[in-house]
Structure 1
Amino acid sequence: MDRWLRGFGLASLVANVGIVVTGGAVRLTKSGLGCPTWPRCTDESYTTTPEMGIHGIIEFGNRLLTFVVIAIAIAALLAAVLERPRRRRLVTLGLVTLLGIPLQGVIGGITVLTNLNPWVVGLHFLGSIFVITTAYLFWRRTVDRPVSSAPPRPLRHLAWITTLVSLAVVIVGVIVTGAGPHSGDGGAKRNHLDPELISQLHVDLVMLLIGLSVALYFAARIAGAPTRPAIILIVVELSQSVIGFVQYFTHLPVLLVGAHMLGACLVWIATLHALHATRSPDNA
Structure 2
Amino acid sequence: MRFLPLRPLALASLVANVALVVTGAAVRLTGSGLGCPTWPRCTDSSYTTTAEMGVHGVIEFGNRMLTFALGIIAVACVIAALLEKPRRRSRVLLSVAVLFYIPLQAVVGGITVLTDLNPWVVGIHFLISIVIIAFAYALWRRAAEGDGPPVPLVPRPINHLVWILSAVSAAVIALGVVVTGSGPHAGDEDAKRNGLDPATVSQAHADVVFLLIGLTVALVFALRAVKAPATTVRAAVVLLVVELAQGLIGFVQYFTHLPVLLVGAHMLGAALVWTSTLAVIWSLRSRPDLPAPPAPTELSPTPVADDEPVPSSR
TM-score, normalised by the number of residues in structure 2: 0.87
Give the number of the structure whose alpha-carbon radius of gyration is greater: 2
| Amino acid aligned to 1:139 | W
What is the Cα deviation at residue 221 of structure 1? 1.7
The residue number in structure 1 matching 2:131 is: 130
Pick the aligned partner of 1:221 from 220, 224, 227: 224
User: 2:51 matched to which residue of 1?
Assistant: 50
Ranges in structure 1 where 5+ consecutive residues have no aligned partner: none
Question: Which has the larger displacement, 157-166 or 147-156?
Answer: 147-156
Deviations 1:203-223 (A, max 9, x none): 110010001011111222222
Shift, 1:45, TM fit: 1.0
Cα pair 2:145 2:287 within 8 Å, conserved? no
Deviations 1:10-30 (A, max 9, x none): 000000000111011001000
Q: Which residue of 1 aligns with 2:100?
A: 99
- Secondary structure of the 1:43 match is coil
State the partner residue of 1:246.
252
Question: Which residue in the other structure is 2:293 paired with?
Answer: none
Deviates most, 222-231 or 198-207: 222-231
Instruction: Determine whether 1:21 maps to 2:22.
Output: yes
The 8 Å contact of residues 150 and 281 in structure 1, kept in 2 or not, is answered as: no
How far apart are the structure 2 equivalents of 1:156 and 1:219?
11
In structure 1, the partner of 2:204 is 201
C-alpha displacement of 1:148:
3.7
1:174 to 163, 167, 177: 177
Q: CA deviation at 1:173?
A: 0.3
Deviation at 1:139, TM superposition (A): 0.3
Counterpart for residue 273 of structure 2: 267
The one-letter code sitting in structure 2 at the alignment partner of 1:135 is A
Q: Partners in 1 of 2:27 and 2:51 — Cα distance?
A: 18
User: 2:71 & 2:267 partners in 1: Cα distance?
Assistant: 21
1:144–1:280 Cα change, 3 Å: closer
Rounded Cα–Cα distance in structure 2 between residues aligned with 1:274 and 1:35:
39
Match of residue 33 from structure 2:
32
Taking only aligned residues, the RMSD between alpha carbons, in angstroms, comes to 1.7
Summarize deviations over 1:146-171 as a string: whole Å, max 9, x none. Answer: 65445311000000000000000000
Counterpart AA for 1:25: A
CA distance in 2, matches of 1:220, 1:122: 35
Q: Secondary structure of 1:143's partner?
A: coil
Residue aligned with 1:81, SS:
helix
Asked if 2 retains the 8 angstrom alpha-carbon contact of 1:156 and 1:279, the reply is no
Q: How many percent of aligned residue pairs carry the same amino acid?
A: 63
User: Deviations 1:27-60 (Å, cap 9, x if unpaired)?
Assistant: 1000000000100111111111111111111101
1-structure distance, mates of 2:249, 2:143 = 32
Contact 2:152–2:284 (Cα < 8 Å) also in 1: no
CA drift at 1:197: 0.6
CA distance in 2, matches of 1:252, 1:230: 29
SS of structure 2 residue aligned to 1:183: coil
**Residues of 2 paired with 1:236 and 1:150: CA distance?**
23
Question: Of Structure 1 and Structure 2, which has the larger fraction of its residues in helix?
Answer: 1
Structure 1 outlier segments of 4+, above 4 Å: none
Gaps of 5+ in 2: 289-314
1:111 is matched with which residue?
112
CA contact (8 A) 2:151 2:285 kept: no
Letter in 2 for 1:26: V
1:246-276 superposed Cα distances (whole Å, 9 cap, x missing partner): 1111111111101100000000000011112
What's 1:64 paired with?
A: 65
Shift of 1:198: 0.5
Residue 144 to residue 220, structure 1, CA distance change in 2 (3 Å) = farther
1:163 alignment partner in structure 2: 166
Instruction: State how many pairs are aligned.
Output: 283
| Conserved? CA contact 2:81–2:87, under 8 Å | yes
Match of 1:235 in 2: 241
